[in-house]
Amino acid sequence: MTTGLPDTMRSTLRVLFIGDIVGAQAVECVCAMLGDLRDRYRADAVIANAENAWQGKGPSKREADQLFAAGVDVITTGNHVWDNWKSRPLLVQNERVLRPLNYPPGNPGSGMVLVPTPRGMLGVLQVQGRVYLPPIDCPFRAAARAAEQLRREAAVVVVDVHAEATAEKIALGWYLDGQVSAVIGTHTHVQTNDARILPNGTAFVTDVGMTGAFNSVIGMATEVALRRFLYQTAHKYELAEGDWRISGALIEAECDSGRAVAIETFCLQCPDPTAASA
């Protein structure tokens, strides 16, 4: 990373962002690795996308509790949060579990939160794209409004843009450039090789990638995914196993201005969680 200064002299806030966690065993991977990752990246805060943490669907209280106990500060989700009924009370009860904020009013939960860190307040917000996803409210205007609100309290604001289309995510990055510290893409489960800092100081990556079994089709058992494509009919979703990895990014931003100074993605091998529990 760019800052070679000792932590006591550092004037930046470092945020670790973990990509879509798929299944309970992937939650175990995060729990096993997060302490080391926090140290390695000298992270001041951790955001984790857990929209697939319970059987490929949104987190239940159990998965959320495990992630918070492991050192996660904010959980973001996405379209699959609505597929697990047990996520809904969690969204209401815990303000640190977010869902995309641009779903129509009346849905449970919130899409933005402020959390204290050792280096000042951090704002986190999540929006969802509309290309190949439900036609919810405008993610651009919703994100801009929420960012403006969060920036009254926090210089550093990180946005999770949960979307299918690369162009939609990139457009949102440009739209928010200079308004937030980072715009981090989630949902496609495939890490893109385009992490960069936009001209006005917003760190951006189109997709931060998946945490789970890479011996799979984006987390799903390969045989099931193939049946779906070959026969064009529904087949019961099964989570994959094998080749466990944790994907994410480290974002570093100035504490006073919120301007990003670095972004770095990673995709690291995890110990096999099935071996640990056997």
Task: Identify which range of 15-23, 91-99, 146-154, 224-232 contacts Fe ion by CB under 5 A.
Answer: 15-23
Residue 77 within binding range of Fe ion, rule CB under 5 A: no
Cα separation, 54 vs 75, in Å, equals 13
Cα separation, 276 vs 264, in Å, equals 29
Q: Out of 25, 52, 60, 117, point to the residue binding Fe ion (CB under 5 A).
A: 52
DSSP state of 201: S
Residue 79 within binding range of Fe ion, rule CB under 5 A: yes
Pairing of strands 112-117, 74-76: unpaired
DSSP symbols for 211-246: BEESSSBTTB-HHHHHHHHHH-S-----B--SSEEE
Task: Identify which range of 12-20, 117-125, 194-202, 270-278 contacts Fe ion by CB under 5 A.
Answer: 12-20
Closest CB to Fe ion among residues 20, 252: 20
Q: For this structure, is 187 an active site residue?
A: no
Q: Out of 23, 59, 78, 139, point to the residue binding Fe ion (CB under 5 A).
A: 78
- Minimum separation from the CB atom of position 107 to Fe ion (A): 16
Residue 187 within binding range of Fe ion, rule CB under 5 A: yes
Closest CB to Fe ion among residues 78, 258: 78
Closest CB to Fe ion among residues 60, 179: 60
Q: Which residues pair with 122 in a beta bridge?
A: 115, 156
Task: Identify which range of 30-38, 46-54, 91-99, 190-198 contacts Fe ion by CB under 5 A.
Answer: 46-54
Enumerate the H helices of 71-188 as residue ranges.
87-93, 139-150, 166-176
- Minimum separation from the CB atom of position 188 to Fe ion (A): 8
φ, ψ of residue 98 in degrees (nearest 5): -100, 155
Q: How many residues does the chain have?
A: 278
Q: What is the 3-state secondary structure (H, E, C) of 105-126?
A: CCCCCCCEEEEEECCEEEEEEE
- Minimum separation from the CB atom of position 143 to Fe ion (A): 17
Task: Identify which range of 79-87, 106-114, 143-151, 230-238 contacts Fe ion by CB under 5 A.
Answer: 79-87
Residues that bind Fe ion (CB under 5 A): 20, 51-52, 78-79, 187
Question: Catalytic residues, which ones?
Answer: 80
